Amino acid sequence: MKSLYAKIAVLALLAVFPLFVGSDYYRHLVIIALMWVVIGASWNLLAGYTGQVSFGHAIFFGVGAYTAGLCTTQLGISAWWGMLLGGPAAMLVGILIGFICFRLRGAYFALATIAIAEILRLIAIVWRDFTEGMQGILIIQTFRSKVPYYYLALGIAVICMLLIYKIIKSKWGFYFIAIREDQDAAEALGISTFRYKSLSLMVSSFFTGLAGAFYMNYMGFIDPEVVFSLHFISIMAILVSIIGGAGTMWGPSVGAFIMVMLQELFRSSFFGYAPSWVSHAHAMAFGVLVILVIRFMANGVVGDWSKITNLWSKGKPAALVTNGN
Amino acid sequence: MEMFIQTLVAGILIGGVYALIGIGMTLIMGVMRIINLAHGQLMMVAMYITFVLYQFLNIDPYFALLVAPPALFLIGAAIQRYLLNPLIKIESIIPENQVLMTVGIGIVLTETIRFMFSSDYKSVKTSYSTATFNIGAISWNVPMVVAFILAVVLTASLFFFLLKTDVGKSVRATAQNKDAAMIMGINAEWITQLTYGLGAAMAAAGGTLLLPIYYLFPDVGGPFTLKAFIITILGGLGSAVGAIMGGLVLGVAESLGATYISMALKDAIGMVIFLLVLVFLPGGLKQLTKV
């Protein structure tokens, strides 16, 4: 019950945030963090719960973003239609990938996702007549204020989290975890692993595509190097989940805020307090973070919470008992 | 017809070097059961070592073959020992955390090099970089031919090492069944370090051989990581013979694609082959030879 109140309090805080904070800069950061909540939660459903690690969530993000962008450039309709079409388009791609890869075991899925993200990036660069190539797609944003985007992002995040929560608590969720723990055992118990892996991928790709479509509408500009980026979308999605805690319900949300904050700290050289070369090192910081997190905090802030609190209560007998490592 | 043969020749020559790089990854795949996504980046580091040797000490890239691969062997073994190996003991929900670690290592390597050398394109312009000779109507690029021959020699010596020496046999035994190998008294941990080092050294050799004809910049690693894993999948996970065929197939396909389809889509051709293999021949070329 206590945790439910905590969640409602956090949600309420987020809901009133733009009323008290007038700065567009901070609003922007929270909007981006909310977008990453959606992507992180989607990745986590597929990898953290179903055990199918994707190294290419940029596929779905990019497809969603390009669907929205192409609505304007090719069909001449508002990019907001992308919010309706982006999710399904990404899901369609997800189904195709699942159909190819999920019949196989092992690293195939992880590798295929990298390869497909690369193919799509190259296609988006080369097929200039259709995608505008490296020039990218530029649209006029509908609202000048950040507030509508803020509530839209919050709404998508809440819906996404609620739905994923429902899925995890339902029969599907248990099937997913069974597949993650032991595919053969799950198959032996009569779970169609192919079907449930595909279902997990469908939900995951849908929401990532939706986030992509939102990104197009919000930022007003996309290009292939941004939305199909291995480092800054695919790996970021993994980091968001892992730093928060893969395989935990709320881990990715925590991770999203931590990652966006860290990224911004480096990008702005710690708001100008650090020497300016720090801002060039943000990719480096990213890599170092990957190494440190995997090495020392493999289950993330939420998953390793007891380990973290133990650091503070070191030496006390009670802590030593629970500290298994 | 002449253009076709010329394209084929260029493809086979580059394919030999690809095979060398691919075998490195296959070796790591076979023993450690992970895809080394820092492979191209390790190769890139070797290329910069060669570049520095050439630029500041005026050492010919081919002599750098005696420096860069051993250096990368040490770096690789250290990475395996201090970064990848400890992960085995960590309980985590994500099974692929070693692979993810290699991604992190790849980013750090790329960014470190960018810090030291900036993002500018560099190249090693030797007197023989553009030298060619003709056989019939087909022209052969000298550094490419040399690279191919040296790649074949290196591959052959690797095979000799794997098939004929005790340590090589231990590597193969560990790849086949780690537990059984350990029962037989093989120090699997040491073998794993050796393997990762060897894999890195093979990539380093490939990079050094490519340098006289290639441009060099910090992000050159990424595409080569992808090429190496395409070769690994194409050849069948963990099969060295498959990797050789995979390297040649990729080289020829890229070369044909660049000539007959589009230069810009050259890199996509490898990916498409990868997907086709995934759909129609999931066991890779290894599968064909077994039947």
Identify whether A12 is part of a domain.
no
Q: Please tell me the predicted confidence (pLDDT) of residue A174.
A: 93
Residue that wins the pLDDT comparison between B215 and A166: A166
- The strand ranges marked E within A1-67 are none
Question: CATH code at A136?
Answer: 1.10.3470
Q: Pick the most confident of A98-102, A285-289, B54-58, B156-160.
A: B156-160
Q: Pick the most confident of A55-64, A109-118, A140-149, A223-232.
A: A55-64
CB atoms within 10 A of CB B156: 10
What is the average pLDDT across B256-274? 81
Q: Please tell me the predicted confidence (pLDDT) of residue A40.
A: 95
Q: Residue B138 — very low, low, confident or very high, per pLDDT cuts 50/70/90?
A: confident
Q: How far apart are CA A223 and CA A139, in angstroms?
A: 12
Q: Residue A307 — very low, low, confident or very high, per pLDDT cuts 50/70/90?
A: confident
Cβ within 8 Å, pair B91-A298: yes
Q: Please tell me the predicted confidence (pLDDT) of residue A2.
A: 65
Q: Please tell me the predicted confidence (pLDDT) of residue B22.
A: 92
Of B100, B107, B222, which has the smallest distance from its Cβ to A294's Cβ?
Answer: B100
Q: How far is CA B110 from CA A54, A87, B103, B217, in A?
A: 22, 34, 11, 9
Identify whether A20 is part of a domain.
no
Residue type, A95: I
Q: Please tell me the predicted confidence (pLDDT) of residue A147.
A: 87
Interchain CB contacts (distance < 8 Å): A and B? 132
pLDDT value at A215 more than 70: yes
Number of folded domains that form chain A: 1
Q: Please tell me the predicted confidence (pLDDT) of residue A323.
A: 40
Tell the burial category of B276 from Cβ atoms under 10 Å away from its Cβ (0-12, 13-18, 19+). exposed
What is the average pLDDT across B125-151? 83
Q: Please tell me the predicted confidence (pLDDT) of residue A321.
A: 40
CB atoms within 10 A of CB B120: 9
Kindly list the residues from chain A whose CB atom is less than 8 angstroms away from the CB atom of residue B34: 107
Q: Please tell me the predicted confidence (pLDDT) of residue B129.
A: 75
Range of the domain at A313: 25-322
Kindly list the residues from chain B whose CB atom is less than 8 angstroms away from the CB atom of residue A55: 37, 99, 103
Identify whether A6 is part of a domain.
no
Torsion angle, alpha carbons of B32, B35, B41, B42, to 10: 20
Identify whether A235 is part of a domain.
yes
Identify whether A280 is part of a domain.
yes
Tell the burial category of B239 from Cβ atoms under 10 Å away from its Cβ (0-12, 13-18, 19+). buried
Q: Please tell me the predicted confidence (pLDDT) of residue A141.
A: 82
Question: CATH code at B89?
Answer: 1.10.3470
Q: Does B281 touch chain A (CB under 8 A)?
A: no
On average, the pLDDT of chain A sits at: 86
Mutation target for B interface from A180, A291, A299, A302: give the one with most B CBs within 10 A. A291
Kindly list the residues from chain A whose CB atom is less than 8 angstroms away from the CB atom of residue B84: none
Kindly list the residues from chain A whose CB atom is less than 8 angstroms away from the CB atom of residue B279: 100
Identify whether A5 is part of a domain.
no
Identify whether A15 is part of a domain.
no
Q: How far is A151 from chain B (nearest CA, A)?
A: 33
Q: How far apart are CA A204 and CA A43, in angstroms?
A: 6
Binding-face residues of B in 181-200 toward A, CB within 8 A:
none
Mutation target for A interface from B37, B93, B102, B265: give the one with most A CBs within 10 A. B93
Q: Please tell me the predicted confidence (pLDDT) of residue A157.
A: 94
Q: Please tell me the predicted confidence (pLDDT) of residue A202.
A: 95
Q: How far apart are CA A169 and CA A146, in angstroms?
A: 34
Geometric angle at alpha carbon A80, from A74 and A83, rounded to 5°: 105
Q: How far is CA B21 from CA A76, B14, B152, B248, in A?
A: 47, 11, 12, 12
What is the average pLDDT across B68-72? 93
pLDDT value at A1 more than 60: no
Q: Please tell me the predicted confidence (pLDDT) of residue A318.
A: 45
Q: What is the pLDDT of residues A178-207, one digit of tens each?
A: 998 888 899 898 888 899 999 999 999 999
Q: Return the residue matching tokens 């992000």.
A: B219
What is the average pLDDT across A52-72? 92
Q: How far apart are CA A94 and CA A101, in angstroms?
A: 10
Number of folded domains that form chain B: 1
Range of the domain at B163: 2-290
- What ipTM describes this predicted complex? 0.82
Q: Residue A325 — very low, low, confident or very high, per pLDDT cuts 50/70/90?
A: very low
Q: What is the pLDDT of residues B30-63, one digit of tens each?
A: 888 888 889 999 999 999 999 999 888 888 888 8
What is the average pLDDT across A74-87? 88
Cβ within 8 Å, pair A48-B93: yes
pLDDT value at A106 more than 70: no
Identify whether A11 is part of a domain.
no
Q: Please tell me the predicted confidence (pLDDT) of residue A319.
A: 41
Q: How far apart are CA B157 and CA A70, in angstroms?
A: 53
> Above pLDDT 90, what percent of chain A?
34
